[in-house]
Structure 1
Amino acid sequence: MQHFITEKEHPIPRLLIPFLLVCLFAVCTIIVTVLGLKTYLKIQKDTDLAYQSRTGASYLANRLRGTEGAISLKDNHTILLTENENGSTYETDIYFSDNTLWESTVLSGSEPIDSEKIVEASDFSVHWIASDLLSFSITGTDGKQDTRTVYLGKEALSR
């Protein structure tokens, strides 16, 4: 005769292991989500800061290339674009003031008013390399610098 010893199984150990695995999965999911969010926010912040200097530099380069009139420099922080349209002469000042690059277009001889903000920056400088090459540098608020050299074409030789 065989004696079978049967112990009554307790439901707690049987349910505890799956419950602990589910809890471990939930904790790991939360940790991965928080780390991913932190990484995403850092990348987004870096992208936004780099966007400032790139956007300002691209806008300014295209603005200079699209100008059909004279381009001159008032100082190392100010560009003057002079264009004739419908018999009137307009001057566009692109200047750096109060950690911002500004643009203002007025009739020739008038003082700049209602300037439009191009981009926030910590520094801006511009200088001629040659009669048809203008170089400028914009430093974003993050300290990243974007330097561009713009070829203004043969017609720039008469400017």
Structure 2
Amino acid sequence: MKRNAHIVDIIFILSLFCIFTASALLVVLMGADVYQGITKDMDHNYSSRSSISYVTEKIRQHDSEGQIFVGDLENEPALILTQNYNNDTYETWIYRDGNHLKEIMVAAGTQVNPGDGQELMEVTDFQLEATDQSIRIAAADGEGKWSESMVYVQCGPVKMREG
């Protein structure tokens, strides 16, 4: 009788150990799934929001009359920012080429080719829309998730310009 009780105790302890091990494994698997979801969200936030933040900051840096234009470069929207340096006028073009947001700074009047710009970050789509006193910026990340922002400009109406 004592031996049967001893076997029951061992089986009970092994059962508890198996339940504990299975529970621990389940918690680890759920944690890994949560971590993967957080990582995806962080990647989305970085790629789409960073591009919008970058363009917004560039607009604010050039918020003076006659320095902000919205145009197009080979049927893609482009932000054109002008600035004077040492009595010369330069243009900074920000646009999408393929799956990348690009930027190039050239002397005013220079022909801009989309492939010439410096890659900033990955975006699958990029939109600019100018109204009287604001510019709407929208960008899609690699998974097609959109982020957008509206930037108010103090310098007056944003002008449209052909690329």
TM superposition score category, shorter chain reference = 0.7 to 0.9
Query: Residue 137 in 1 paired to residue 138 in 2?
Result: yes
Q: What's 1:74 paired with? A: 71
Partners of 1:49 and 1:60 in 2: CA distance: 17
Q: What's 1:37 paired with? A: 32
Partners of 1:68 and 1:33 in 2: CA distance: 51
The percentage of aligned residue pairs carrying the same residue is: 28
Q: How far has the Cα of 1:73 moved from its partner? A: 2.0
The residue type equivalent to 1:127 in the other structure is E
Query: Residue 16 in 1 paired to residue 11 in 2?
Result: yes
**Residues 33-88 of structure 1: per-residue CA shift (max 9 Å, x gap):** 11210121022113312331111111111110111551112226111111002222
Partners of 2:158 and 2:148 in 1: CA distance: 25
Contact 2:131 2:158 in 1 (8 A): no
Change (3 A) 1:148 1:14: closer
Q: Counterparts of 1:119-138 in structure 2 under 5 Å? A: 119-130=121-132, 132-138=133-139
Change (3 A) 1:39 1:65: same
Q: What's 2:153 paired with? A: 152
- TM-score with structure 2 length normalisation? 0.80
The answer for unaligned runs of 5 or more in structure 1 is 1-6
Q: What's 1:83 paired with? A: 83
Partners of 1:52 and 1:21 in 2: CA distance: 47
> Which protein shows a greater Rg?
1
Partners of 1:62 and 1:43 in 2: CA distance: 27
Q: Which has the higher contact order (CA 8 A, sep 6+)?
A: 2
Count residues in correspondence: 151
Please say which of residues 44-53 and 21-30 is displaced more in the overlay.
Answer: 44-53
**Residues 129-151 of structure 1: per-residue CA shift (max 9 Å, x gap):** 10x32222212222222222211
Change (3 A) 1:108 1:96: same
Q: How far has the Cα of 1:100 moved from its partner? A: 1.4
**Residues 101-128 of structure 1: per-residue CA shift (max 9 Å, x gap):** 1111123334557522222122112121
Coordinate RMSD, CA, aligned:
2.3
Contact 2:81 2:92 in 1 (8 A): yes
- TM-score with structure 1 length normalisation? 0.81
SS class of match (1:156)? coil
The answer for unaligned runs of 5 or more in structure 2 is none
SS class of match (1:95)? strand
